[in-house]
Amino acid sequence: MAQNLPQLPPWEQVSTNVIRILGGNPGKFTLQGTNTYLLGRGPRRLLVDTGQGEQVWADTLRSVLQQQSPPATVAACLLTHWHHDHIGGVKDLDALSAETRSSSPGERVPVYKNQPTLDPDGLLDTDRLLEIVDGQRFRVSSAPSTSGGAGGDQNVTEGEETFEIEAIHTPGHAKDHISFLVTQSSDPDEVGAIFTADNVLGHGTAVFEDLSAYLDSLALMKRRVAESIVAQDGGSGASEGASNNKIKINVNNNIKKRRAFPGHGAVIDDAVAKIDEYITHRRLREEEALNVLRFGTTTRPDATGGELVHDSITTYEDDGDGGEGEAASETRHASAAGAGLGLGKEITSGKEWSSIELVKVIYRHYPESLYQPAEYGLLRVLEKLRLDGKVVKTPEGKWRISEKATL
């Protein structure tokens, strides 16, 4: 677990329409615990994720609902992805519903998930799940409602406060991974905020199962937040290129930032900046792997300032139970290239490297106990580079630079 993580309370009103409730499962895989979110201000709320089934989470959720004025209920539960530390509390929702509202016998809280049948651990009753699709919107209002679910386009009476989020399919961390963008709120500063689930964390970096999809998703998340900011600002301070699906913000125009609410860790004050940081981090990882395969060091021989070295790493590794993987919290400084390893700067494009050999160069300042989680992430970087045609995997499972690779 990352050192010196800020302490988070069991529950906290982190924004006008957002209450964060910790899952009660702190650890090296989950940081301070899984973040679940109760959304809206009226008697019917949306719930994003359910933790991993700890009783303390269910007790806290019950208490928070009862403390609202008037007391609130869960109108619908939205699961961001299939990992066990996000879906384990689904089993508690029906009993909670019966306690907190007058409901018909056997009435169940609607539970939504992308790709409902994707449940590798068998923890969900997939027959009860409703599908989340890309672009679907979920809305709750401040007024009492006796009919209609949170997933439809309900009529809203004038004067009511409405809170609405849009589902964005953002695979990479998991195939069914969903982020949610705030599209309507009584608080204008919330519009454009994003619930990032496990694609972006409050501390460190996140694991991914498909790096290409992950980078595409990060770019999409950044673009959607930026577009929302620009739309609220009247379109000033931005230039958009439709052909490359990118949007650039002129930071000198004082465009307001939007927050990100992650699946683990503290609230992120600037979603666009944090996503940019994630993208840059992953691109640097690719560059380092290519440099080692070609030159034997993590930087090109003609690079100025020495080699990039990672001072610290925080593991967030696979616990063998369908959970999360590696996350790294890293900083860099310059140092002599290849110190103590006898690595020269000559081009070594013909050399074949095992993944652990690459780890020993890229992460040589780390203890060996961290090599395994580092290798987990590096293998996914190498696979992306292979698909990009930049590296070749030999029949023996080793890696070498492709003749087509360009640096």
Active site residues: 85
Those residues with Cβ within 8 angstroms of residue 57's Cβ, 6 or more apart along the chain or in another chain: 21, 22, 23, 24, 25, 36, 50, 51, 89, 92
Q: Residue 17 contacts by C-beta under 8 Å, 6 or more apart in sequence? A: 39, 40, 41, 163, 185, 186, 187, 190
The DSSP letter of residue 205 is: -
> Rounded CA gap, 116 and 130, in Å?
7
Separation of alpha carbons 212 and 173, rounded Å: 11
- The answer to whether the beta carbons of residues 103 and 110 sit under 8 Å apart is no
Residue type at 383?
E
Query: Which DSSP category does 190 fall into?
Result: G
The terminus-to-terminus CA distance of the chain in angstroms comes to 35
Rg (CA), the chain: 23
Evaluate whether 44 touches 72 at the Cβ level (below 8 Å).
yes
Query: What is d(CA 223, CA 205) in angstroms, rounded to the nearest whole number?
Result: 19
The amino acid at residue 405 is A
